[in-house]
Structure 1
Amino acid sequence: MAITIDACAAQHQGDRKEQQDRVAILPHARRKGVALAVVADGMGGHTGGALAAEQVVHTAKNNLDHFAPAEESPHCMLENSMREAHTMIKASRFMNEKDPHSTAVMLLLQPGRITWAHCGDSRLYHFRGKQLLTRTVDHSYVEHLVSIGKITAEQALTHPNRNVLLTSLGGQEEPKFDFSDTADLQAGDAFVLCSDGLWAYFDDGEMATLVADNSARNACEILIDTARKRAAGEGDNLSLAIIKLVEAVSSKPTPPAGFVPRAKT
């Protein structure tokens, strides 16, 4: 069964004065079937966060353009992208006297395999139909409290320290990265990358259903519109990228019922 890709990236400024998120779906310059999706949520005062997030996307694009699967593993390519972005963001402190940081979540698509990595609390979800197969675990204070049983996942959504990160790109400490991949791919799989300005308003089941029941473009529109309504005038920047694996439609016409081909004489 042939599989094709339905993908879309979208964002909204929310109720903030500035858009500090960045999102992109980038095709490889030379290799068919290789692409990179990136979501970065910048932090660090006026313009500082936007510059940090922009650096994440810029560095990822440069690394993708030079990515040669025969010479470099997907894991290394993603790690190098984030480490280089971290170094560049940290160096920019000395030039603009700001305190820039950024989260990052990246997905590298290759024929038959998808690899991803993240730093901070921007997330990746892997759905199969309307079922959640896995999602990234936030590098955040409240996620740590959930993991040790101090609070529930529901309590984490309204915890006063829910925006406190344990790691990010551009900070004084070396950033922490987590990686995963899968070669178990089939039509009906969907991957959602998003900033906390979006995922904070949905449980896993609702997001899975909205993505499964709509095209990537329509799902982006519905998720953003719903998050904006639920934010009630206090919404953060929100960004997302959706990559859906769908069964390719055959270009061959289907013969009518009862049709019997005749051999040429």
Structure 2
Amino acid sequence: MDKPFRIMAATGTHRGDRDYQQDRVELLSHSRVNGCVLAIVADGMGGRSGGRKASDQVLMTASQLFERYDPHTDNAPVFLQNLVQEAHLVIRLTAISAEQEPHSTIAAFIINPEGDCHWIHAGDSRIYHFRRKKLLHRTRDHSYVQALVDRGELTEEQARDHPHSNILLGCLGMDADPPATCYSIPQLAVGETLLACSDGVWHYFTSKELAAATASLTPREASEYLIQEARERAEGGGDNLSLVVVRIEALVEERKATRFSGFEAKA
């Protein structure tokens, strides 16, 4: 990035109307390299203990691998692919030892100090890339209804309310390898925002609504608003909710090239 920038960020999580929380969300700032951050959303499935075990394994694996990651020498897409594969294997081993069927989605992105961004996802947790109120790109769900949308048999609006919208074609912990999809942004710019969230959040919003919220509010305000609004729209039938909002802003004080500031909004 030509000009100094700072990363403003927030996370949010809520149990929703479920009896227990199986989502996990984390925003990690690199312990040795300023301006390098990793965001992860994991939506666990497989019953109360199984789903939480799966999402816990995703976060534990991500934290361990990120500690060893060097943005100056390591390949970010390869790092993310290794994260998915290792988390998948650990979840599979957990399933064998615990006689459960834990599964988890993953939506993770890493921002390097130079401003390049890389993401990976498996399942129906999503990542959105906005430039102010404009959607630049988002992940495509590994789900039955997304396949119907891709074939032109459903619209995005119809897919959100489809009775089989919760059927996944792949995620971490299944018998087959997860259908992880990577994407890279060569250079983030001031005014751009990344949003990673579970289906408990995005199910209740259009892309335009998400773009407007993240553009007009601070990351912390946006995370609080989106969770509250999703809860209201769910009308007592909502899933677990989790999200990470990261915005690139101009650096006022130019003594440091990058600065990470994180908040967590929990309800």
Short-chain TM bin: over 0.9
- Tell me how far apart the structure 2 counterparts of residues 70 and 5 of structure 1 sit (CA, whole Å): 19
> Considering only aligned residues, what root-mean-square deviation do their CA atoms show, in Å?
1.2
| Residue equivalent to 2:127 | 124
Shift of 1:159: 0.8
Structure number with greater CO (CA < 8 Å, separation at least 6) is 2
Aligned to 2:238: 235
Q: State the secondary structure of the residue aligned to 1:46.
A: helix
1:65 aligns to what?
A: 67
Correspondence 1:185 to 2:188: yes
SS in 2 for 1:72: coil
Q: Which residue in 2 is equivalent to 1:139?
A: 142
The C-alpha deviation readout for 1:100-156, integer Å capped at 9, x for no partner, is 000001011102211100000000000001000000000000000000111111110
TM-fit CA distance, 1:220: 0.3
- Mapped partners of 2:36, 2:97: distance in 1: 35
The separation in 2 between residues aligned to 1:208 and 1:154, in whole angstroms, is 16
TM-score normalised by structure 2 residue count: 0.92
Secondary structure class of the residue paired with 1:145: helix
In the other structure, the counterpart of 1:155 is 158
> TM-score scaled to structure 1, two decimals?
0.93
1:220 and 2:223 are equivalent in the alignment: yes
Name stretches of at least 5 consecutive residues in structure 2 with no aligned partner. Answer: 256-267
Match of 1:255 in 2: none
Partner of 2:116: 113
For residues 184-206 of structure 1, the C-alpha deviation after alignment (integer angstroms, 9 at most, x for no partner) is: 32111000000000000000111
For residues 236 and 244 of structure 1, what CA distance do their matches in structure 2 show?
26
SS of 1:134's partner is strand
Q: Does 1:18 align with 2:33?
A: no
In 2, Cα distance between equivalents of 1:70 and 1:28: 12
Instruction: For residue 163 of structure 2, give the secondary structure of its aligned residue in structure 1.
Output: coil
Unaligned runs of 5+ in 1: 253-265
- Larger deviation: 101-110 or 241-250? 241-250
Corresponding letter in the other structure for 2:194:
F
Residues 24 and 56 in structure 2, CA contact (< 8 A), matched pair in contact too: yes
Distance 1:85 1:251, change over 3 A: closer
CA distance in 1, matches of 2:223, 2:177: 33
Query: How far did 1:62 drift?
Result: 0.6
| 2:175 aligned counterpart, secondary structure | coil
Query: Whole-Å Cα distance in 1 between the matches of residues 82 and 238 of structure 2?
Result: 32
Is 1:55 the equivalent of 2:57? yes
| Distance in 1 (alpha carbons) for counterparts of 2:240 and 2:72 | 38
1:164 to 146, 162, 167: 167
Cα deviation, residue 93, structure 1: 1.1
CA–CA separation in structure 1 for the residues paired with 2:48 and 2:241: 17
* Superposed displacement of residue 34, structure 1: 1.1
Question: Across the two proteins, how many residue pairs are aligned to each other?
Answer: 252
**Quick one: percent identity of the two aligned structures?**
43
Q: Which amino acid aligns with 1:220?
A: S
CA contact (8 A) 2:106 2:125 kept: yes
Higher radius of gyration, 1 or 2: 1
Aligned in 2, Cα 1:250/1:71: closer, same or farther, shift over 3 Å?
Answer: closer
